[in-house]
Chains A and B, each alone.
Chain A
Amino acid sequence: MASASARKTQSPERSHADAVVAPDGQVETGQSVNGQVDIGQIAQELTLVADYITRLKNEIGALRANELYRSRLPGAHDELGNVVSATATATNSIMASAEEILGYDDDTLEAYRERVQGKVMEIFEACSFQDITGQRITRVVEHLNQIEKRLSRFASAVNARDTDVAPDKEDAAKQTRKDVLLLHGPQDAGEGVAQSDIDALFD
């Protein structure tokens, strides 16, 4: 086993192997100004790295990634799926009632009124979907808030920086096709152009 003095006077050629990456990303060699390795400084740096790793592990734990992808994200996915399904069911029900009303050809106004009132009540009933979907969307917003909070805390704690990761080839091809050929759906209020402006392009 090397003595403490021998360890303190290792040759400068080994200094690169002794380099330590500090939590702030800077490389520190633990080399003193006269070219000798300062074991004390290296130990201090290793302690810093160990502390950083411990903190990182704690932050990863606080992220509760397993809960996010096993519960929160599938939960949001299911809620949105149910919203789509409920709105489609309600819309079909409303349209079916409206179509029936349009097709009524009763002889008397009284008979017509009675049948229309029955269908109008069905339309009101179908509109109750808004209450249910509103509650489901509120839950999705809660899931997203949780995800946002945890990711934000994690990114801040580990000083995360975004890097460009090469996308999967198949995904990249799909994305390119979407970018070139598909539109991006409805605009938010104030965005896009009005029908009257579009009409002007065709005049």
Chain B
Amino acid sequence: MGLDLKMPILVVDDYQTMVRIIRNLLKQLGFEDVDDANDGTAALAKLKDKKYGLVISDWNMEPMTGYELLRHVRADENLRVTPFIMVTAESKTENVIAAKKAGVNNYIVKPFNAQTLKSKIEAVCGA
């Protein structure tokens, strides 16, 4: 079973450059429906308005961090099953474990390439 390239994806990052990089990588992988938000609060509002097949979120954002966004998503009856990939520049084991306990589906360390992103999306979305 291949990836559903029509699946809507939400990219959450406060750095527009990073959003642009991930958008381009997703475009190269064939994904057509990609939205973005610049922090957890804006992402949560978008998640409540539209059904996304995947969230790719940075951790370090204000006022709502990616970790807080993850906890909100997992606590919401309508959103709790949404696949969630965390992307961060920091890779301490305790942070990865905390994110995993909070229900993250996968974790990518920056910088990363298209192949890493593709393999994580495949792992999370069951391709």
Instruction: Please give the residue numbers on chain A whose beta carbons come within 8 Å of chain B beta carbons, in ascending order.
Output: 88, 91-92, 95, 98-99, 102, 181-187, 192-195, 197-198, 201-202
Contact of B108 among A88, A102, A195 (CB under 8 A): A195
Interface size class of B (residues with CB under 8 A): 20 to 34
Q: Which residues of A contact B123 (CB under 8 A)?
A: 202
A185 and B109 contact, CB distance less than 8 A: no
Dominant secondary structure of chain A at its interface with chain B = helix
Docked CA distance A98–B62 (Å): 30
A183 and B60 contact, CB distance less than 8 A: yes
Q: Which residues of A contact B68 (CB under 8 A)?
A: 181
Docked CA distance A187–B68 (Å): 22
Query: Given A92-B17, A195-B109: A201 and B100 within 8 A (CB)?
Result: yes
Does B78 sit at the interface, judged by CB under 8 A? no
A182 and B65 contact, CB distance less than 8 A: yes
Query: Given A193-B96, A202-B100: A181 and B90 within 8 A (CB)?
Result: no
Q: Mark B101-115, 1 if CB is under 8 A from A, else 0.
A: 000011111101000
A-B contact pairs, 5 of them (CB 8 A): A181-B68, A184-B90, A192-B91, A195-B91, A195-B108
Instruction: Please give the residue numbers on chain B whose beta carbons come within 8 Å of chain A beta carbons, in ascending order.
Output: 17, 20-21, 24, 28, 59-60, 62, 65, 67-68, 88-93, 95-97, 100, 105-110, 112, 116, 123
Docked CA distance A71–B91 (Å): 37
Query: Given A182-B65, A183-B59: A202 and B21 within 8 A (CB)?
Result: no
Query: Given A185-B60, A198-B109, A202-B123: A192 and B17 within 8 A (CB)?
Result: no
